[in-house]
Amino acid sequence: MKRYSGGKQMFRTLGKFLCAASFTLALSACTLFGGKAAEEPAYRVVLKDGAIEIREYEAFSVAETTVQQPFDEAVRLGFRRLFEYISGANRVAAEISMTAPVILKPGRITISAQVPVAPRANADSLDVDAGGWTMAFVLPDGYRARTAPQPSETLVRLRDVPARRVAVMRYSGLLRQRTGEAQRRVLAAWLEAKGMAHDGDWRMAGYNPPWTLPPLRRNEIFVTLR
């Protein structure tokens, strides 16, 4: 009888574990299979042409850090710094919700850079590491640089991004330099053909957690329009 009772307890425990595992899988299914992963900055689509969109974004804020390393190492170190910040490495030890996208831009390109000549498809290549890389996490709606929890790490800074119009090209797969550069060239050529001037502040953005299947991931190339 004792052996039978122990067996019932074992199956009861196993049942609870399987229920919990099923619940966890259900919660993560949307991200595993490419669904919306997290809160995003608010925007309005004003033009769509296949994988390309022209969007009008409302103002939002970011936490960002620059890493003077090649792409892969910069992604690893940058993500760790920013994740620690939203996990409580700030002056009030507050946890901040993870949002999307995670934004990457070459360290040599500033968000306010102005290109004095007409955009060219071979300008501002993303497939170089000179100047390192800047990674940014978008802060949840309602957060601003002055009022958000201030970072404990001096290499993490907060910044407000003003409302703006951007050109975006969406693609799937892994977030890699060469893939991003190939998509940037396509978008740059499209903008040139349309006669649309831009600021040259090219950025890559990833929207999904790392366990999302690559063909179902949402990646984008951004550039601010004038």
Instruction: Give me the mean pLDDT over the 69-91 stretch.
Output: 96
- What is the per-residue pLDDT across 117-137, written as a single tens digit (0 to 9) for each? 344 444 467 876 667 999 999
> What is the domain extent for residue 68?
37-224
Residues 127 and 189 in one domain: yes
Sequence-ordered list of residues with C-beta below 8 angstroms from that of 165, at least 6 positions apart, any chain = 46, 54, 55, 56, 57, 224, 225
Residues 175 and 107 in one domain: yes
Residues 3 and 102 in one domain: no
Residues 55 and 136 in one domain: yes
Residues 18 and 130 in one domain: no
Residues 24 and 129 in one domain: no
Residues 208 and 104 in one domain: yes
- Cα radius of gyration rounded to whole Å, the chain: 21
Residues 126 and 162 in one domain: yes
18: confidence class by pLDDT, cuts 50, 70, 90: very low
Residues 132 and 209 in one domain: yes
Residues 63 and 163 in one domain: yes
Residues 136 and 149 in one domain: yes
Q: With a cut of 50, say whether residue 43 has pLDDT above it.
A: yes
Report the SS3 class of residue 167.
strand
- Total number of domains in the chain: 2
Which pair of structure tokens corresponds to residue 213? 């299947």
> What pTM was estimated for this model as a whole?
0.78
